[in-house]
Structure 1
Amino acid sequence: MESAPLFALIGGLGIGSQWLAWRLQIPAIVMMLFAGVLAGPVFGLVDPEAAFGDLFRPMVSIAVAVILFEGGLTLNFSQLRTTGLAVRRLVIFGAPLAWAFSTLAARYAGGLSWESATVLGGILIVTGPTVIIPLLRQARLAPRPASLLRWEAIVNDPVGALAAVLAFEVITAVYGAGTLGEAAKHLALGISVAAVAGYAGGWVLAQGFRRGMVPEYMKVPVLFGMVLAVYASTDSLLHESGLLAVTIMGVYLANAHLPSLDEIRRFKEHVTVILVSGVFILLAANLDVAMITGLTYKAALFVIAIVFVARPLAVWLSLSGTGLSREEKVITAWIGPRGVVAVAVAGLFGTRLEQLGIADGAQLAPLAFVLVTATVILHGFSIVPLSRLLGLTSTEKPGVLIVGSSPWAVQLGEALKAAEIPSLIADRNWFRLRAARQSDIRVYHGEILSEAAEHTVDMNRYGLLLAASDNDAYNALVCTDFAPEFGRGNVVQIGRHTDGENERDLPVTLGGRSIGKGKTYGEIESAVRDGWSFRVTALSEEYTLKTYMEDRPEADVWAIVRKSGSLEIVRGKEEFRAQAGDSIIALVPQKARKEEPPEAGEGQGG
């Protein structure tokens, strides 16, 4: 196949697999593995070695360099300090223990040499956040173990890659030098060159961004160019030091407190999705059928040793004395699926080890694929029943995620709090969130559609989403994006502005249904200025829904809190029912509030 159609096929398979996995709500790695194996070993549509020749390995190396840089960008030390003792123990003690135990498993169960086992052990520290986070949503795990697993995956992503790079640097130094002393000098030189280059690259970027020397539209291209420049220059000066350099540069930028961090995050979210997809398809397609079919019982022993011994032992030892319950330690020790980064780095380093004369380096990629497949299946199917068995399924009422902060959104949050329904208000403007913070309502400062929000916000605590910004297009985008995750019936937005036949109006097929009577942002804002507010009214045998509506003919009912404690949104102008024991959350005028009968059992949320 010619290069252009081949690139199109690889891109289509990679991005298509990511999209299909998103639609089906399954880990993307499963779909990419399936697509790559079908395109390569099964049907022979993609043969990377034959198609790209000598360029194949450099292409994979550059892609892995960008992936490692992205991993470094997630390692924010200030966030690590605020994550709690258990997460810090999992990183500081758990990562080295996992490296040691995984190395022993690869050596004695997998039958690898010490060199290959050490590199693979470092790689297996990583538990992919792209796999963990969907599993946590699926299981509705209790907040503490869910937070622990999520933060371990985020922080250990770059730590594992860094460990693998260091292990490979040591092996390269030993094999490239005649004596142990020369190997030590080579290793020290490699780490020094990588550290200086990574720090210098990060410093130059940070200074350029801070001083306005790079225009906004050029920041992402300049960032990408700097990653390539640091990798290529460092690697040409001292072979194999480029990967370590770009990882250090990512860590530096993550902790540089840049005002342009949003642009950097956008870069890593968009570019790395493309690169990860492409690299994974290429590596899966490049798998040797003979190597896969030639895997012996040792591959099964290796998986068993990692899943049932190495991971549980490392987690249990590192979490001793943290105050976690036995059940929380069990679920944390069991859930540890590996992701795309593990396979990508294993595929690259396996080839490099072969080039150094370590023959079993070729087994790293197949073993990584086998382990990823096994852990995704095992942990994906077991997390729900195990969390229920251990009593770790969250008992907190599903809350409401409100996107867009405003005075009336804060009133709504207070009304929800009065009804004992948790809520979170998200907004990109810190100043707008001030009133919510003062009212002790949970807030998220940042872009709710970003990967950072996916890592930071515990989405399994929220069962309903209300898009309430002053931008109709943004509200529709939020609802469309979150509909597969929350369910289309659980995403709503405030009413849209419409100009009749205006061709710029958004299609009704995009976004969510309107909440309540479909008031627009401006109409709600105007009503609140005129004295309207959100109220929570309890119904009883004497004070029925009919009586309520007679007392408040103008009331705009947004939600019903059922007697059981569950919350139901009133969508559009649909009819709704409520009975004794239920409560009504509605936007009501000042006059209606003054005339409320005392027996209504009503409380205001504002």
Structure 2
Amino acid sequence: MAEHFLISITSIFVFGIGAQWIAWRFKLPAILLLLIAGILAGPVFGLLNPDALMGDLFTPFISVSVAIILFEGGLSLRFSELKDSGGVIGNLVSIGVLITWVVISLSSYLILDFGVELSILLGAILVVTGPTVIIPLLRQVRPSGQVGSILKWEGIVIDPIGAMLAVLVFEVILTTGVTAATSAILMSVVKTIFLGTLCGLAGAGIIYIILKKHMLPDFLQNPVSLMIVVLVFTVSNEFQHESGLWATTLMGIVLANQKAAYIHHIIEFKENLRVLLLSALFILLAARVELSELMANLNWKVLAFLGIIILVARPLSVYASSLFSNINWKEKLFLSWMAPRGVVAASISSIFAISLTQSGFEQANQLVPIVFIVIICTVAIYGLPAAWVARKLGVAKPVPNGLLILGAKDWSISIAKKLKDEGIKVLMADSNRNNASQAKSKGLDAFHGNVLSEFVLDDINLDGIGKMVAFTPNDEVNSLATLRFSDILGRSNVFQIPGNNKHNEDEEEVSDHLSGRILFNRDFNYQYLSNRIRSEDDLQTVELTADYTFEDFKNADDEDGRKIPLFHITSNDELHPFTIDYPNNPTKGDKLIYIRSKITNGSGNLTS
């Protein structure tokens, strides 16, 4: 028995994280692969039986995990995003929810032949989208304008609203009498909003005070924050069922929009935790689905029902919600093509189906397979072509291939001008106003300010920027900058020049794990580059051909010495700096920007 439990737990990690990695590697919707992996681990291979593994803990685990995911989602919401799109977001989570609910309920009643009660419940369950599916797709698609903010806010806020709506319908179904049902609805709405808001604000206030007054050591701040999230969710749910989701979402939003307490490390921790919980949730939920039930419900009626959801309910809610907004028709069309269902729909349907079946609703056993069919199909239909649709509609940002250069000195300005001449977007940043002004005088975009400032990201425009190089003379500043931007651009996309103390054995360089990827060559520190690159003429460009390969370039010496490549620009204009940790592999059609390893100094002698 113990060995079987071990195999089940291992399956969750292997199939879950494996699906996440494959999704990232091949740019596929992670949720789709997680659902497939869960079905493989459960009913296909028989490695995982969630009910046998977790027993009565299954439902609480799902609920707490969803609460943590919504808290993490709330941490990504900024009130500044509501300035232009707040009206549309508000309409989508009110008018849009109502329209979606009505259309899906009618469709399930007329097409699926569900009873009135179950039709209304199914409609309430399927109004949600959710951050578990929206946020990964937004990272992949990178929509421009207001679209990204609208979808992110809608996906996060609509989850607790949809959960509350589903709970209300569920309670009404089990309540007899119109008067009793009406009283139950009003009381539930008031308690959910009031108690959820009260608990959420209290939880955010506690975390704020703890962080602001430094009442905990660093190593306990993340665990205590997680404890408070779970505590708030539980307390709120004890007063009113499913109000905990609203409480934890509100907690995240409040903490994200205060500027006095530093919460960056909490955001990073919750992002990592979200990946683990999301993987486990979908593996467990999918593993509970019986393939026979799934296939038995996959018929023309369900496909017609799915068509109504995609082609009628979503476009109708989007166009009604954005009727008097400044969103253009292309943005509306893309919003209409982005409503995949996620973990809340899966978890709520699983929980309610059991109770309703026990209460005598025979059709309730169809809820779970139909909801999973909708989840799988909407994730596939919306997610797989999402990037292509966004590009065709012109609402996708280009691949962020630009370069942020920290440190605007003469030699780094020469590098920036050379890259700009080759079609690469370049943004320079320097805390010295004169340096930033000099870069601007050369026709370059430049930002004057300290990139280590807490609020610099509110001022600097990183649109189109995908990589950062630190060229300042201060090794510690370079390292701190790469650590700061590794959270934004990814650790593999932040670089710095070698330390200036590399030749002095009495002084230690900054540790590798506390710095960015080291550029060019161990000898190419600040002093070397400032001496070597006096103007843009010292930088050369060569294009590789079938007759002149990268091997030919490396083996070719000229009268000035060996050629040292600095940057590699691919045939589709992707920029890759040369580093000491991983060799570039330029091919035919790629360009190399390089300098020669020897120059003539002022006295006429060759130096290296």
| TM-score of the superposed pair, with normalisation by structure 2 | 0.72
Quick one: distance in 1 between partners of 2:61 and 2:399?
48
The match for 1:34 among 33, 36, 45 is: 36
Structure 2 residue 566 is matched with structure 1 residue 558:
yes
Task: Note if 1:227 corresponds to 2:235.
Answer: no
Q: What residue in structure 2 maps to residue 304 of structure 1?
A: 307
> Given the superposition, is the C-alpha separation of residues 215 and 345 from structure 1 closer, same or farther in structure 2, using an over 3 Å criterion?
farther
Are the aligned partners of 1:536 and 1:583 in contact in 2 as well (CA < 8 Å)? no
Q: Is the 8 A contact 2:105 2:120 kept in 1?
A: no
How many residue pairs align between the two structures? 551
Query: Does 2:130 align with 1:128?
Result: no
**What are the equivalent positions in structure 2 for 1:315-354 lying under 5 Å apart?**
315-340=318-343, 342-344=345-347, 346-348=349-351
Distance 1:554 1:357 in 2: 82
What is aligned with 1:378? 381
1:199 Cα deviation from its structure 2 partner: 1.4
For 1:267 and 1:513, the matched residues in 2 are separated by 23
Per the TM alignment, residue 223 of structure 1 is displaced from its structure 2 partner at its CA by 0.6
Offset, 1:269: 0.6
Alpha-carbon offset, residue 29 of structure 1? 1.4
Give the aligned partner of residue 107 of structure 1.
Answer: 105
Distance in 2 separating the partners of 1:506 and 1:362: 60
**Distance in 2 between the 1:115 and 1:276 partners?**
28
Letter in 1 for 2:304: L
Post-superposition CA distance 1:54-108 (Å, at most 9, x none): 2221222222222222222223223433xxx3x4344122333432333234223
**In the aligned structure 2, how far is the partner of 1:67 from the partner of 1:213?**
26
Equivalent position SS for 1:106: helix
Q: How does 1:208-247 map to 2 (within 5 A)?
A: 208-247=210-249
- Change beyond 3 A, Cα 1:149–1:298: farther
Q: Which moved more, 1:110-119 or 1:299-308?
A: 110-119
Instruction: For 2:187, give the aligned amino acid.
Output: K
Q: Deviations over 1:447-470 (max 9, x none)?
A: 9xxxx99xx966xx4576657694
Deviation at 1:281, TM superposition (A): 0.7
- Give, in whole Å, the separation in 1 of the partners of 2:223 and 2:24: 27
Cα deviation, 1:509-534, whole Å, max 9, x if unaligned, reads xx9997555654xx225643x69556
Residue 96 of structure 2: which of 95, 98, 115 is its match?
A: 98
Change (3 A) 1:231 1:418: same
Q: Quick check: 1:367 aligned with 2:370?
A: yes
Paired with 2:14 and 2:119, the residues of 1 have a C-alpha distance of 39
Q: Which one-letter code corresponds to 1:558 in the other structure? A: L
3-state DSSP class of the match of 2:303?
A: helix
Q: What is aligned with 2:316?
A: 313
* Separation in 1, partners of 2:133, 2:57: 28
User: CA, structure 1 residues 266+383, in 2 after alignment: closer, same or farther (shift >3 Å)?
Assistant: closer
Residue 281 in 1 paired to residue 289 in 2? no
Is the 1:80–1:88 Cα contact (8 Å) retained in structure 2?
A: yes
Instruction: Look up the match of 1:598.
Output: none
Q: Is 1:58 matched with 2:60?
A: yes
Aligned partners of 1:132 and 1:150 also within 8 Å: no
SS of 2:259's equivalent? coil
Structure 1 letter corresponding to 2:536? R
Alignment CA distance shift 1:478-1:253 (3 Å): closer
In the TM superposition, what whole-angstrom CA distance separates every residue of 1:98-155 from its partner, at most 9, and x where no partner exists?
3233323422333453441342243137683344235416xxxxxxx53444323322
Q: CA deviation at 1:14?
A: 1.6
Q: Which moved more, 1:58-67 or 1:182-191?
A: 182-191
**Aligned residues of 2:539 and 2:595 also touching (Cα < 8 A):** no
d(CA) in 2 for partners of 1:166, 1:289? 30
Distance of 1:457 and 1:592 partners within structure 2: 38
Of residues 438-447 and 187-196 in structure 1, the stretch that sits farther from structure 2 once superposed is: 438-447
Within a 5 Å distance, the mapping from 1:383-462 to structure 2 comes to 383=386, 386=389, 390=393, 399-402=401-404, 405-408=406-409, 411=413, 412-413=415-416, 416-417=419-420, 421-424=424-427, 440-441=445-446, 461=464
Q: Could you say if the C-alpha distance between residues 586 and 208 of structure 1 is closer, same or farther in structure 2, counting changes exceeding 3 Å?
A: same
**Is contact 2:407–2:428 with CA below 8 Å preserved after alignment?**
no
Q: Map 1:29-178 onto structure 2 (within 5 A).
A: 29-81=31-83, 85=84, 87-110=85-108, 111=112, 113-124=118-129, 128-133=133-138, 135-136=140-141, 145-171=143-169, 174=172, 175=174, 178=180
- How far apart in 2 are the matches of 1:282 and 1:313? 34
Shift of 1:267: 2.4
Give secondary structure in 2 for the equivalent of 1:187.
helix
Contact 1:36 1:282 (8 Å CA) reproduced: yes
SS at match of 1:260: coil
Q: Alignment RMSD, CA only?
A: 5.2
CA distance in 1, matches of 2:267, 2:225: 11
Offset of residue 218 of structure 1: 0.8
CA contact (8 A) 1:131 1:337 kept: no
- Is contact 2:128–2:341 with CA below 8 Å preserved after alignment? no
Distance across 2 between alignment mates of 1:565 and 1:538: 21
Deviation at 1:224, TM superposition (A): 0.9
TM-superposed CA distance for 1:217, in Å, is 1.2
Letter in 2 for 1:154: K
In structure 2, relative to structure 1, the CA distance for the partners of 1:385 and 1:272 (3 Å cut) is: closer
Deviation at 1:225, TM superposition (A): 0.8
Question: Does structure 2 retain, via aligned residues, the 8 Å contact 1:129–1:150?
Answer: no
Residues 1:566 and 1:124: Cα distance change in structure 2 (over 3 Å): closer
Q: Which runs of 5 or more residues in structure 2 are unaligned?
A: 542-552, 603-608
TM-score of the two chains, using structure 1 as the length reference: 0.72
How far has the Cα of 1:47 moved from its partner?
1.4
Judged with a 3 Å threshold, the aligned counterparts in structure 2 of structure 1 residues 481 and 359 are, in CA distance, closer, same or farther, namely farther
Contact 2:318–2:332 (CA<8 Å) still a contact in 1?
A: yes
Q: CA deviation at 1:535?
A: 2.5
Q: Which amino acid aligns with 2:106?
A: Y
User: Aligned AA for 1:123?
Assistant: V
Q: Give 1:285 shift.
A: 0.4
The Cα offsets for residues 518-573 of structure 1, whole Å up to 9 and x where unpaired, read as 654xx225643x69556378999xxxxx9xx99987997634889x9947657479
- 8 A contact 1:99–1:124 mirrored in 2: no
Quick check: 1:397–1:421 contact (8 Å CA) kept in 2?
no
Q: Structure 1's 467 and 346: CA in aligned 2 closer, same or farther, altered over 3 A?
A: farther
